[in-house]
Structure 1
Amino acid sequence: MTVKEITHILEELAPLGNAEDFDNVGLLVGDYNSIVNGVLITLDTLENVVDEAIKTNCNLIVSFHPIIFGGLKKLTGSNYVERVVLKAIKNDIAIYSMHTALDNVQNGVNTKICEVLGIENPQVLIPKKSNLKKLTTYVPKDDAENLRQHLFEAGAGNIGNYSACSFNLEGMGTYEAGENSNPTKGDIGQLHHEKETMISVVFSGIDQKRIVNALLNNHPYEEVAYDIVSLDNTNPYVGMGMVGMLNELEEEKDFLKRVKKSMNASIIRHSQLLGKPVQKVAVLGGSGAFAIDAAKATGADVFISADIKYHEFYKAENKIVVADIGHYETEQFTKNLLVDYLTKKIPNFAVRLSESKTNPIKYL
């Protein structure tokens, strides 16, 4: 398999278009056309990870965090980023990053945290805005079914657990073909009336190019009438964080002790305990202070995240317990998620879980 074929499989799980604008995701080092001998899954791409890839004959590293985040103006090996990139290039190793593309999908980083902690029926905590669009077009009645199917195959009409969703309205369309036209139906210079079906479908903005191509390539008219509008609706299946329910009520201290054990956390920093049972829990892997207000708005009893600053703990306002378990600790099981996913998709291919230590924070 090539790098392109494997990354295409990864993008079925986490489309790069779902990544945040500030992020740097996708293929960071390497050639899409290179043949892959093996894949090494890691949270961070450090020099020891590249060494592990060399030792295990893996020439594609799939990393959660991007090793290149800002612009590189030179490659002299003067810092750890440059050394990693130089070593990867020298040894023909490709590096692919997923980061917030995997954060923002329903079956990604935060769902894995919920799975580990036994949080059931998780829903997206902060749904992504301006992500949904609607296409409306008009097609001869006899051609409507064929066009609908091609739009569905391109990704239109997918709403949560439902697919092939559309609205259809029949009416009369008119047009007069100009002198230089080549009309599918009707005559040049004559007003033509055609029984048409109006088709409306909702789609994720990241699929727009593919869907428009499907429309233009499968519509019978020489000139295709259509419009695309952005919707104010939030997409409940794409966004940051998750919130769900525990199967049974737990006392605050008991729950935090279980979190510490399950997430292999050396320490938990938390806001004031409220002295009430825990059942509704919100989570956000990585730096999640920006989501404290959203977690409170859902009525969550506890919010689990990382990198919470001193003054940000005040945002709990005795309405929620904010628990910082560590950045690495919240994201560590992402590696297992990706290994399981790729192993199921390409079962006879070498996919390895990195054994290299990459957590930069140590505890005394």
Structure 2
Amino acid sequence: MSLFIKDAVGRLEDLIPLNLQEEWDNSGYQIKLAEVPLSGIVTSLDLTDKSVNLTVSKGFNLILIHHPLFFHPVSSLNLDSNDGKLVGLLIENKICVYAMHTNFDSSPYSMSRYILNKLKAQEISPLIPHKRKLYKLSVFIPKGYVNVVRNILFKYGNPKIGNYENCSFETKGKGSFKPLEGSNPFIGEPQKTAFTDESKLEILIEEKFIKKAIAEMKAVHPYEEAAFDLYPLYDFGGNTTEGIGAVGNFESKIGFGGLLDKIQELFSPIFINYCGNLNKKIKKVAAVSGSGFSFIDSAVKSGCDVLISSELTHSKAIKANKSGICLIEMSHFDTEKYFTAITKNILTKEFNVPVIENTYENNPFFKYKGGKL
């Protein structure tokens, strides 16, 4: 039996839910082609000529990327532009593109955790746990449409309760309404009170996804006017494995200079910048893949001796020196280049389809060593 793209993506969203992404992010489908059998997957940090050409050459039809192609709504697309040419080639070859960005960064599979695992840190947990302001959404749905609405809300809401997900509650009852003049009722007739069997579906929604979840719910709800209630809740705590960054402890203290040597040996970054006393003993370590300047204060508050990240900025480094925390800065690429290998490992365990890493991507920056170029 063929595995369809939508089923593979659905399983990925079970493992790495979209509701973990930041509000400004655009993880998920970038180019959607869901109702076709999955022929193969290319994993790539970015969508580039190399990743698209590799996918075309292999006859695959899904590219899994980290950085979204689209961050903002697109009002027009010039097919002669670089992005436009890529999109045209993808559409021509019927290739789907799916992004896992900040939801991946907040998942237990993150590059931040990968870095600390490679360094053999222990007791790893999120640097900033995923905090949720929760609401309960109750929707009144006619018979035969409950699962349609439930599935869309699972996609856009559905925060975990501990180690459980896809949590909802359904009660059955009798609804009544009188369509007024000018209405277009799904059930009943204008100016006549109708009584119909309905279900009340309840599900938890994070505050940042309420607008999107309600809009998507209304899009699939059969009623002209969907009836729903929204209640604010107190969150007693969620899954502590989810959150941005990672923090852990070394079994025994290590000198800061020795840690820099380990970083060079294990990760072979194009450069290492550092702040701090090379003789300082390091016990508690934090890592944030990608741009990490906004997480230095969190690392200090967490009692970390060192933060490993990229793009830490001049002013933040000065403050870090005053606070006593050591910094290790690599390039953005060098903290995230493991995305392709991590996701390939996930995909090969989950699906019986060919999966290839795009190993042709390189750091966009080069290290100048002096002499002639």
TM range (shorter): 0.7 to 0.9
Q: 1:313 to 1:36 in 2, by over 3 A?
A: same
Which residue number in structure 2 is paired with residue 305 of structure 1? 309
Higher mean displacement: 312-321 or 297-306: 312-321
* Distance change in 2, residues 1:234/1:274 (3 Å): farther
Alignment of 1:53-64 (within 5 A): 53-64=55-66
Q: What RMSD in Å do the two structures reach over aligned CA positions?
A: 3.8
User: How far, CA to CA, are the matches of 2:298 and 2:334 in structure 1?
Assistant: 22
1:245 corresponds, among 235, 239, 249, to: 249
- 1:228 matched residue in structure 2: 231
For residue 234 of structure 1, report the CA deviation from its aligned partner. 6.2
More deviation, 254-263/201-210: 201-210
1:351 to 327, 352, 355: 355
Could you say what secondary structure the match of 1:296 adopts?
helix
Structure 2 vs 1, CA of residues 327 and 225 (structure 1 numbering), >3 Å: closer, same or farther? closer
Once residues 282 and 360 of structure 1 are traced to their aligned partners in structure 2, the CA distance between those partners, rounded to angstroms, is 25
Summarize the Cα distance change of 1:157–1:302 in structure 2 as closer, same or farther, 3 Å threshold.
closer
Q: In structure 2, what is the equivalent of residue 269 of structure 1?
A: 273
The 1-side partners of 2:70 and 2:159 are apart by 36
Q: Please, which of 129, 132, 135 is the counterpart of residue 131 of structure 2?
A: 129
Query: Which residue is equivalent to 1:120?
Result: 122
Look up the equivalent residue of 1:126 and give its one-letter code. I
Contact persistence 1:124–1:242 (CA under 8 A):
yes
Alpha-carbon offset, residue 30 of structure 1: 3.3
Letter matched to residue 285 of structure 1: S
Contact 2:276-2:324 at 8 Å conserved across structures: no
Kept in 2, the 8 Å contact 1:132–1:234? The answer is: no
CA deviations 1:195-221 (Å, max 9, x no partner) are xxxxx99786699879xx9xxxxxxxx
Contact 1:14 1:102 in 2 (8 A): yes
- CA gap of 1:201–1:28, structure 2 versus 1, over 3 A, is closer
Q: CA deviation at 1:277?
A: 0.9
Consecutive unaligned residues of structure 2, counting only runs of 5 or more, are 139-149, 169-175, 177-192, 218-226, 369-373
- Normalised by the length of structure 2, the TM-score is 0.73
Amino acid at match of 2:344: V
Matches for 1:13-28 after TM superposition, within 5 Å = 13-28=15-30
What SS does the aligned partner of 2:284 have? strand
Judge which range, 336-345 or 67-76, deviates more. Answer: 67-76
Q: Say if 1:270 and 1:321, in contact at 8 Å, map to a contact too.
A: yes
Asked if 2 retains the 8 angstrom alpha-carbon contact of 1:44 and 1:358, the reply is: no
- Equivalence for 1:109: 111
Counterpart of 1:283 (choices 282, 287, 297) is 287
Cα pair distance change 1:229/1:70, threshold 3 Å: closer
Matched, 1:338 2:343: yes
Question: Partner of 1:315 in structure 2?
Answer: 319
Distance 1:164 1:134, change over 3 A: same
- Residue of structure 1 in register with 2:97 after alignment: 95
Work out whether residues 125 and 239 of structure 1, in 8 Å CA contact, stay in contact via their aligned partners in 2. Answer: yes
For residues 136 and 124 of structure 2, what CA distance do their matches in structure 1 show? 27
SS of match in other structure, 1:273: coil
Distance 1:234 1:249 in 2: 32
Q: 2: distance between equivalents of 1:14 and 1:81?
A: 27
Cα distance in structure 2, aligned partners of 1:68 and 1:201? 29
The code of the aligned residue for 2:26 comes to N
Q: Deviations over 1:49-100 (max 9, x none)?
A: 111111122211000111223444222332x322322221222211111111
| Alpha-carbon displacement from aligned partner over 1:6-65 (angstroms, at most 9, x marks no partner) | 111111121112211211211111322122210001111100111111112221100011
In the alignment, which residue of structure 2 is the partner of 1:195? none
SS in structure 2 of the partner of residue 244 of structure 1: strand
Is the CA contact 1:38–1:351 (under 8 Å) kept in the aligned structure 2? yes
Residues 159 and 206 of structure 2 are in contact (CA less than 8 Å); yes or no, is this contact kept in structure 1? no
**In the aligned structure 2, how far is the partner of 1:24 from the partner of 1:41?**
18
- Which amino acid in the other structure matches residue 53 of structure 2? D
**Structure 1 portions without partners, runs of 5+:** 137-149, 167-176, 185-199, 214-223
> In the aligned structure 2, how far is the partner of 1:47 from the partner of 1:321?
38
What is the number of residues matched between the two proteins? 317
Please list the CA deviations of residues 236-256 of structure 1 after superposition, one character each: whole Å capped at 9, or x if unmatched.
Answer: 443211111112211101111
Does the Cα contact within 8 Å between 1:59 and 1:94 map onto a contact in 2? yes
Decide whether aligned partners of structure 1 residues 133 and 127 sit closer, same or farther in structure 2, where only a CA change above 3 A counts.
farther
Greater CA drift, 296-305 or 350-359: 350-359
- Cα gap change, 1:93 to 1:161, in 2 (>3 Å): closer
Percent pairwise identity: 27
User: Aligned residue for 2:6?
Assistant: 4
